[in-house]
Structure 1
């Protein structure tokens, strides 16, 4: 029996199964208690390791491989998350804040290290661990609609400077500790690193764009190309005696522009946040010695207070310096501080590298006390940072609505060409939903004297004379005949189209582009399987590829019987105004009543609620032709629950499709996803073109 158990424990497949089970179960449990999911992964590592159940050996080749890949992937995703376009717009101020929020924590860390008797080299390494930051609070800013605030933009841009500088200090400190350091070697390493960085940033950017241009829609190959680029850059960094995470971060920056927030980037981040990055945090937990950790907190409490308190104060000083230099508001300065507080991605990755770096005397660059303190720092800042961001960012001024960007729908003249006519493409693939979709499209098109294009995609076969191909075309003709009959009931011009295509989503988007469509109306097919999440379902692909807005519908009533419409509104934006215009088209032809609902938490100042309601009312008043549209504001800390309660009085809810970003590869919650699962009325998920 003992031999069987020993064989099981040494089996890599057993370790992998345990890791998957932990990643699946623990993070959601901790998130329910308002704790970051990564805390659950660290706890799991402790429980599975030498201080717990002894199920996984942190020194095993399997765990080392998973942990190394996770560490590299973590820094790669950190580079991917940086918006280079926004950085270029405010690069001067971003670099200024980046230098400020790097140098003050660096000096603080050096002073704390020297005060507690660490060498100059270890002290500088401790300082570099405090100098970077992870934008854990950024999704909160997104939800509040404050992403375009100047303070937020320069804080995001500053991440480039802090992470690169911190990784550079790490490289130098590792070189010194291993005894390879001389003034000449430092100069040589800096020159080599500069050349290598330029080669990665420009070389991978060029190679990626060229490869993507040549491969077109082959997302699988593009995914593999990006992974190959990541590991080549990481291995190349190791060849020039620089840590792998430096190459991974540079690779993330290099392919950032290539991916452009497209579907391949979603898949890369999904793989990271689902597998490799959680494995890294579990690996950190496996390395954590619980007795030493507890002893550090008790006996070295001053070290913990010095590092944690020094980080918090130095980041505050750095933000306030910029606040006074550029005369920002207090809330802007404090938001910059809160966003730059969390120490997760670069900090933990660099701390692990430093802990595993030993010299000829088998001395570590940082000891277990410092590693334990850094984990405490991560826990404190990953909770404190988002809490403070939520407090200060909601006080930032909300961007004013730009009414000029609301698209007007003109009635075409007698001499209009097809490209000037309001055109709705309706993919038909389910006979059960066909009538409702055609009816909805007809109502929208009739408002603008437009046309509808019922579309049936027949999957292509290798041989065009294949009987299955003929059967598919026959089914398509039946669907389109029904669509034509339905549209004639509304006296709307109809142009049925059959298309043979290898990819249904691409066929929809290409047809919409060929007919210069203004809108795509699709049926709902909820697919949440692992395969759909990894490779994307058809709706995801259409959202990503379409040149025009896409309205995905789950209609539980006939469109003619939908007379009460609810639109949840977080903040005024071009996307929300397009939804309002879309709803106006439907309401005008169907005599529907529309309610714009904003859910504020209980901390929202009354003045802010009143101001937002006035701005929203102004938008409604300027809509032509006018429709019955009311504005409603309620207080509730649970947005999804509030919308669900209000939705019981409505026939249809219109939601905005908003892509979720990840924070260092860790997924954040999505109110829209919760609503789609629980709404009991008709639903429209409205998505904008990717470049809008």
Structure 2
């Protein structure tokens, strides 16, 4: 018994050293603390930081800084930056890149301009210390990005320019750090600048030119090895972070650029994206927030009046500089109050780059202990202020977005309760069909995606239904990984087309997505029946699809629309779906149509307030359809907007074009739309 008590005492001796116990304690904090304090309306981020203070070496000393905690903290920080780059709407970023540059300039120059005279004249620091401390004010860490992501406002323009500005200002500050260190050590010469420029150029080329090509090849060759996709992505993040260090900048820059490099290859509604966010938000990011708290030494406040004065001054200057940058950004771009607050909230948190700057400066003897202690307090203060500001602003923005969408819903009840039907033809290629349906599904609709299997009405009907249901279980898991509900349906009917038509009416389907016939000859048998019968048996908008590669590896949507396509009832629906697909894949859209149709599409895109890059080319030579081949790219998704017989936009040449698509463009992904 005594031996057991000795072992127990040793294991629980503070600070805890057993790695299993340490990990269990941190997991318990991540699980319990946000739940316990939720009723007090304290944001989870603040709870985790405070928890880190309590258990850290400057609190009750339950845990000490160790290599294991540093490792998980680094992973969490890199994860935040990676997700920020990955979730950035590239179409929106391209459309607003000048705004990101201007905000990056504001949020860099204003804190620097205010901070330097305060440090140099008011606090009496020397030039190097003043300039280094002032540059620290210009940095910010996207501590509160998980809040805007959780609130579903991460694609708001204000968020996009803040994230874009982050990389600009942090890169500039970290380059300033390298310059000051070079000046301090006497190595600031032409060779220093040449080495820095060359290394950063090589690193950028690898991230934006080499990595996307490797990722595209990997996702294509290992398409069915879904578990390996996440490991590949994680490997890219850490290799990029290490390469950034070799290039002379902080690893967080590499992680962010890795997110940008992989952005287009990981759709926002995909299962892979869901896995990345789930693991990061559940484990790595909370670990980082706890580790930030462990750095905070509250006792420095009571170590003397100078420490308190420095801490208060640094905190006020840092927050005021960021608020001023957000205020001027609001004035220039005419943003709302909630957008200004979310910009301030996202950009006012200091942690990663701030610590990097100050600790490097302290170790080099450029800054004194009071600045180091004041910076630790600044991290705590700005983390709390940033969290509260972001939480309130994101809630307000989410409410505003819901009010706007509510107006749209009133105008279109069918869109609110959108229902998609997927009749199954060939289970071998069905995973791409389901992935396509997940990407274009209206996320606000509570209805699941319905997968339909039509079986012959004979003595084996019940057995066939059971077999079909069993085969579809894997696809239910695939949809679940992307947080999409799937409903498996079965219809017993002698006529497949009639069974699909009847079931589409029963579930009030808005859209039917069909796989391309796998047998020779276009519009041949689908589950033993003619595709034409399915199209003619229902008036629902139908997509007939074929994808020869993973959806995320495409680079453009190439649309061919007939004259008067805008007069069809399903015009609004397919425009919404193409726009949504373009956003998910971060690709451009080229529309070949008449000027009248182009005008109506432009109008619809304005109504959707979409940033998707649509281009238009005039086309009317339908008898010479193949001429369009010279404008198609290898990675295009070719979309033919067709029409049913007797409809407004129908013309005699339309039924012959699908055969031409299959014969001459067999190596391209293609969609035929029947409004």
TM-aligned CA deviation for residue 194 of structure 1: 3.1
Find 2:10's aligned residue among 6, 12, 27.
6
Answering whether residue 376 of structure 2 is matched by residue 350 of structure 1, we say: no
**Equivalent of 1:273, from 258, 271, 281?**
281
Q: Is the 8 A contact 1:78 1:345 kept in 2?
A: no
- Find the aligned partners of 1:57 and 1:423 in 2 and give their Cα distance: 53
Offset, 1:487: 11
**1:215 corresponds to 2:225:** no
Aligned to 2:377: 372
Residues 510/351 of structure 1: CA separation in 2 closer, same or farther (3 Å cut): farther
1:26 lines up with 2:33 in the alignment: yes
Aligned partner of 1:476 in structure 2 is: 467
CA distance, structure 1, for counterparts of residue 193 and residue 341 of structure 2: 35
Pair 1:476–1:248, CA change in 2 (3 A): same
Contact 1:233–1:251 under 8 Å retained in 2: yes
Structure 1 residues 474-483 or 350-359, which shifts more? Answer: 474-483
Q: 2: CA distance between counterparts of 1:374 and 1:343? A: 14
Q: Could you say if the C-alpha distance between residues 389 and 407 of structure 1 is closer, same or farther in structure 2, counting changes exceeding 3 Å?
A: closer
Measured against aligned partners, the alpha-carbon deviations of 1:293-326 in whole angstroms (never above 9, x if no partner) come to 4558x754443443343344333433444455x5
Q: How does 1:161-560 map to 2 (within 5 A)?
A: 161-173=168-180, 181-182=188-189, 184-261=191-268, 262-293=270-301, 295=303, 300-324=307-331, 326=332, 328-329=333-334, 332=335, 334-342=337-345, 347-357=350-360, 358-359=362-363, 367-388=372-393, 398=404, 424-425=421-422, 454-455=452-453, 475-476=466-467, 483-485=490-492
Report what 1:67 is aligned to.
Answer: 73
**Residues 279 and 145 of structure 1: CA distance in aligned 2, closer, same or farther (over 3 Å):** closer
* C-alpha distance in 1 between matches for 2:231 and 2:470: 38
CA distance in 2, matches of 1:393, 1:124: 39
C-alpha change, 1:455 and 1:251, in structure 2 (3 Å) is same
CA distance in 1, matches of 2:222, 2:470: 33
Hey, what's the Cα distance between the residues in 2 that align with 1:200 and 1:482? 45
Q: Which of 75, 94, 105 is equivalent to 1:99? A: 105
CA deviation after TM superposition for structure 1 residue 177, in Å = 6.0
Aligned pair in 2 of structure 1 residues 385, 474: CA closer, same or farther (>3 Å)? closer
* Cα shift at 1:172: 4.1
SS at match of 1:105: helix
1:51 matched to 2:58? yes
Structure 1 CA distance, aligned partners of 2:222 and 2:156? 34
- Give the TM-score normalised by structure 1: 0.56
- Structure 1 position 394, deviation (Å): 6.5
Q: Distance in 2 between matches of 1:574 and 1:128?
A: 50
Q: Unaligned stretches of 5+ in structure 2?
A: 425-449, 456-461, 472-487, 504-511, 519-525, 543-550, 554-571, 578-606, 608-675
Given that 2:114 and 2:317 are in contact with CA atoms closer than 8 Å, whether structure 1 keeps it comes out as yes
RMSD after superposition: 5.0
* Number of aligned residue pairs: 464
The one of 115, 124, 132 equivalent to 1:117 is 124
User: Residue 20 of structure 1: CA displacement?
Assistant: 0.9
Residues 581-620 of structure 1: matches in 2 within 5 Å? none
The CA deviation at 1:473 is 6.4
- 1:487 & 1:299 partners in 2: Cα distance? 88
Decide which of 130, 133, 139 is 1:126's aligned counterpart: 133
Please give the secondary structure, in 2, of the residue aligned with 1:55.
coil
CA distance in 1, matches of 2:147, 2:68: 33
Contact persistence 1:51–1:289 (CA under 8 A): yes
**Could you report, residue by residue, the CA deviation over 1:322-355 in whole angstroms, capped at 9, with x for unpaired residues?**
455x5x54xx164443122235798311123234
Is the 8 Å Cα contact of residues 155 and 336 (structure 1) preserved in structure 2? Answer: no
2:87 equivalent to 1:81: yes
Determine helix, strand or coil for the equivalent of 1:454.
Answer: strand
**What is the SS of the residue equivalent to 1:224?**
helix
Distance 2:492 2:367 in 1: 81
Task: For 1:378 and 1:224, locate their aligned partners in 2 and report how far apart those are by CA, in whole Å.
Answer: 31
Kept in 2, the 8 Å contact 1:77–1:269? The answer is yes
Aligned mates of 2:146, 2:54 — CA distance in 1: 31
Instruction: Give CA-to-partner distance per residue, 1:344-386, whole Å, 9 cap, x none.
Output: 7983111232344354669779512222223212212221344
Q: 1:220 offset after TM fit, Å?
A: 1.4
